[in-house]
Amino acid sequence: MLCVDFHCHSLASKHATNTIEELLQRADNLGMEGLAITDHCPGIDNTAWLLNQEDERSFWLHRITGPDYPYFKVFISRYQPSETFKTVLFKGIECNILEEGDRAVDVPLKEAGEFDLVIASIHPLPSLLQTHDSSFLTERLLMAMEEPIDVIGHPCHKGYVPDLPLIVKKAADARIVMELNNSSLRFNKTDFEAIRKMLKLAMKHECRISLSSDAHCSNEIGCDEGIRPLLSEVGFPDELIVNRSLTAAKTYVAERKDIRRSLLQI
Sites of contact with Zn ion (CB under 5 A)? 94, 121, 214
**Residue number with CB closer to Zn ion (94 or 150):** 94
**In angstroms, what is the minimal distance from the CB of 122 to Zn ion?**
8
User: DSSP alpha helices (H): ranges in the chain?
Assistant: 20-30, 47-51, 56-63, 69-77, 134-144, 164-174, 182-186, 192-205, 227-234, 246-265
| Gap between the Cα atoms of 13 and 8, Å rounded | 10
CA angle 137, 139, 144 (to 5 degrees): 95
The smaller minimum CB distance to Zn ion, of residues 1 and 125, is found at 125
Mention every residue, 6+ apart, whose C-beta is less than 8 A from residue 45. Answer: 13, 14, 15, 63
| CB 154, min distance to Zn ion, A | 6
CB of 158 to Zn ion, least distance (A): 14
Which CB sits closer to Zn ion, 15 or 205?
15
Tell the smallest beta-carbon distance from residue 206 to Zn ion (Å).
Answer: 25
Give the residues across from 151 on adjacent strands: 119, 177
What is the rounded end-to-end Cα distance, in angstroms, of the chain? 40
Q: How many helices (H) and strands (E) does the chain have?
A: 10, 7
- The 10 Å Cβ neighbour count of residue 16 is 21
Q: Give min distance, CB of 187 to Zn ion, in A.
A: 12
In the complex, minimum distance from the CB of residue 113 to Zn ion, in angstroms, rounded to a whole number: 22
Check if the beta carbon of residue 233 is closer than 8 Å to that of residue 200.
no
- Whose Cβ is closer to Zn ion: residue 87's or residue 121's? 121
Q: Give the residue closest to Zn ion by C-beta.
A: 121
Question: Which of 63/200 has CB closer to Zn ion?
Answer: 63
Q: Which is nearer to Zn ion, 116 or 214 (CB)?
A: 214
C-alpha distances (whole Å) from 205 to each of 53, 68, 169, 177 are: 45, 36, 6, 12
